[in-house]
Chain A
């Protein structure tokens, strides 16, 4: 199950962050997202580790914790997407698929002429699309 997704701008400014848990652990999840930003920077500045997947937008598993797995994605425009999930056996293909759909939703949201670049994404439609994508992620990995 996905517990948190975040969009972070190129100056590490939060553009959108949403958790999907009932429990009151938003702060903890935000903290995890925050920590992952350093890992993203590290991955991008030391590309040797990534080897053949040089400069791919999908950054893969950033770091595993006891309860969560954190995945990252960096667009050409230096916007970072972070995904925090509690599933411990996630298929890479599912995560890639998730990020692809998420990216499409993001692009549609920022292409709104009333959206101010670099400001938080407040679109309700975007929020709805994201929660649909998040829900479908659970179904995919189960089936």
Chain B
């Protein structure tokens, strides 16, 4: 789960990490008042959306006067920002962070991630602050420095010091940088983060060490023990269909194609999408109905798929293991009746009670096309949609 920059900064501030003074605003008037309160000659107006790449997309503006603050706030609020992370449809800006502008003497990158290979949290530092770190890792890997952290004892001072030296933090700031790294690690653990990034970490013209940007990503599996984080959930930042699907316990991701998919299991769902593409179609979504799909869940899945106007046909692919195909078939028939079947529907059932499931589909008399192989069902739906 992503949270906003201003929220990440608030959390990190509580751990003693310095951030520029700033206020979160939702209207132009609030933006003006915030800039006045800050009273600094230069103010940064930052669009608050979850996606990265805001700077390049024009979502971060430097204002030298109140008039400029007004102009930028008017421009950004309500604007659809398209960054390399939002996809072509972009995200609407609904809130801004109005921040004290500071002069930058030096920029660094500092981040924590879960490293699968070592099964550890790894701290990453680089002198190439403010850059896309993935790009740095690809083109100048020697500029990336890492410290692997033992979960039993946490990040040790020598490790933080070694990293600070590696990225050339000036001697007089070294102690402070070590404390900051340890604070970031503590926040990462306390909030069950999967990513924590300060990019850039800066030394200002006045010599202060400060997090100019901050991004925390929280492990969704840990939300049960993170009630404060759960409150920060911003539905505006998500596809409304994805949010609705989550309420039914469905895993749904919207895509650009015309063939709606409903599959049990994440791996099989991805495989089904791949096969649609392979046969010349385009999947409209990823949808995993999970292991114990009831008729209600199937009906909800249908409604979600059909509320995407791009959908021109639906493919249901179920490999019933624990889940019985006859139960699924009844759910599909019931849902199709409830929702009204206006598009071609191909259903592939295999596994437990597949025969009786197919019989239920055949007997329904509502034009469901039944298939027993994954390949045939994909061919069928692709040709029907074209």
Question: Is B a genuine binding partner of A?
Answer: no
**Chain A residues with a Cβ under 8 A of chain B:** none
**Chain B residues with a Cβ under 8 A of chain A:** none
